């Protein structure tokens, strides 16, 4: 395969509140646990539509970024939050996974709500930075509206399968979690390598759900080849820009910039790799699906 096309394929992976939060924070003296408790308090406040609680947890200088939309100051994001967390909207969130390290908390959670009289499930992946018991930065990924319909069933596990059993202590090595996640997701000879995955490996993509990753790319490659001769990019960059690791879970930020003469493919990924026994048992790909549409990627 042409190296430029291979590069392009690799890039397309996919008050009252103070009393409530204060009690939880006091019980969680260790920084990692304390920051996770604060993030949980934020999610619970959004479920209640308690904007006063949300505002109390968020720093006046917060920097907030939403995938495919960009950066927002506090005044703008709070105006957005007042609309999307309206008390008239029924919301119930469940945390799918969380990793905390230093001042960062990466959390995947699923919100069950109702749209046009039908239940829908919206999956979020946020990267919070917490300092002095306040949220100072948020990077937010969610399901794209560009690829309807929204999920009609929970995305906690693949249809017909059970959740993974709890990890045994000897399955977890944070240094190995970091190393394996980096080897699997960084550009290089082991990028998306089957030998780094465990039997029964599961792959999930926002807006798509669970699928067979290797079968997906086997179908995508001939479609990409049929699009015509590849165009060499003016500039190509794909880097892991950050990672939050706790236990068997690594939340990985990936910045992709592919600049062509007439269009660009700019994407920001927030992937989750769950590693046990030195192998990846599951990967979640939170991506800017609108960027793939703009770049003309074929639909599978």
Give the pLDDT confidence of 65-124 residue by residue, as tens digits: 999 999 999 999 999 999 999 998 889 999 999 999 999 999 999 999 987 788 899 999
The DSSP string of 150-172 is PBSS--SS-TT-PPPPPPPGGG-
Give the span between the Cα atoms of 92 and 274, in whole angstroms.
25
Q: How many CB atoms lie within 10 A of CB 60?
A: 10
Structure tokens at 278: 């030195």
In Å, the largest CA–CA distance within the chain is: 62
Same fold for the pair 3-13+163-294 and 16-142: yes
CATH topology of domain 16-142: Nuclear Transport Factor 2; Chain: A, (3.10.450)
Are the C-beta atoms of 174 and 254 separated by less than 8 Å?
no
DSSP 58-112: EEEEEEEEETTTEEE-HHHHHHHHHHHT-TTS-EEEEEEEEEEETTEEEEEEEEE
User: Residue 201 has which token pair?
Assistant: 């490996």
pLDDT tens digit sequence for 140-169: 999 876 555 679 899 999 999 999 999 999
For 81, list phi and psi in degrees, rounded to 5.
-65, -35
Domain boundaries defined on the chain: 3-13+163-294, 16-142
Question: Long-range CB contacts (< 8 A, 24+ apart) of 24-31?
Answer: 25/133, 31/102, 31/103
Asked if the model's pLDDT at residue 196 lies above 90, the reply is yes
Tens of pLDDT, residues 37-76: 999 999 999 999 999 999 999 999 999 999 999 999 999 9
How would residue 9 be classed by pLDDT, with cut points 50, 70 and 90? very low
Residue 170 structure tokens: 């000897």
pLDDT digits (tens, 9 = 90+) for 202-241: 999 998 899 999 999 999 888 888 887 788 999 999 999 9
> How do residues 17-38 score in pLDDT, each as one tens digit?
445 555 554 454 489 999 999 9
- Residue pair 96/123 in contact (Cβ under 8 Å)? The answer is yes
- Domain 3-13+163-294, what architecture? Roll (3.10)
Task: Retrieve residue 147's tokens.
Answer: 């690829």
The Cα–Cα gap between 52 and 42 comes to 11
Determine the Cα–Cα distance for residues 203 and 217; give it in Å rounded to an integer.
Answer: 12
Q: 29 vs 14, which has greater pLDDT? A: 29
3-state class of 212 per DSSP? coil
For helices 16-27 and 31-48, angle between their N-to-C axes, nearest 10 degrees: 150
pTM of the model: 0.87
């Amino acid at each position: 395969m042409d190296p430029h096309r291979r590069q392009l394929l690799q890039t397309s992976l996919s008050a009252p509140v103070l009393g409530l939060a204060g009690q939880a924070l006091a019980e969680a003296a260790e920084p990692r646990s304390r920051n996770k408790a604060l993030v949980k308090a934020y999610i619970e406040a959004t479920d209640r539509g308690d904007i006063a609680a949300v505002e109390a947890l968020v720093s006046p200088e917060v920097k907030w970024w939403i995938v495919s939309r960009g950066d927002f100051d506090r005044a703008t994001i709070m105006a957005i939050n007042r609309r999307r967390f309206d008390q008239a909207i029924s919301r119930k969130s469940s945390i799918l996974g969380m990793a905390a390290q230093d001042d960062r908390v990466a959390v995947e959670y699923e919100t069950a709500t109702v749209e046009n009289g039908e239940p829908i499930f919206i999956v979020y992946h946020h990267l919070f930075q917490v300092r002095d018991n306040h949220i100072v930065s948020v990077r937010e990924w969610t399901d794209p509206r560009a690829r309807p319909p929204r999920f009609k069933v929970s995305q906690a596990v693949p249809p017909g399968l059970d959740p993974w059993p709890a990890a045994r202590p000897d399955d977890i090595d944070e240094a190995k979690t970091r190393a394996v996640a980096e080897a699997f997701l960084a550009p290089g000879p082991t990028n998306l390598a089957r030998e780094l995955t465990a039997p029964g490996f599961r792959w999930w993509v926002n807006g798509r759900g669970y699928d067979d990753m290797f079968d997906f790319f086997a179908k995508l490659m001939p479609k990409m080849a049929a699009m015509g001769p590849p165009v060499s990019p003016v500039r190509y960059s794909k880097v892991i820009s950050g990672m939050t690791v706790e236990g068997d879970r690594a939340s990985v930020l990936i910045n992709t910039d592919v600049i062509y003469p007439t269009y660009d493919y700019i994407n920001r990924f927030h992937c989750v790799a769950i590693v046990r026994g030195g192998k990846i048992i599951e990967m979640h790909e939170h991506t800017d699906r609108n960027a793939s549409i703009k770049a003309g990627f074929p639909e599978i």
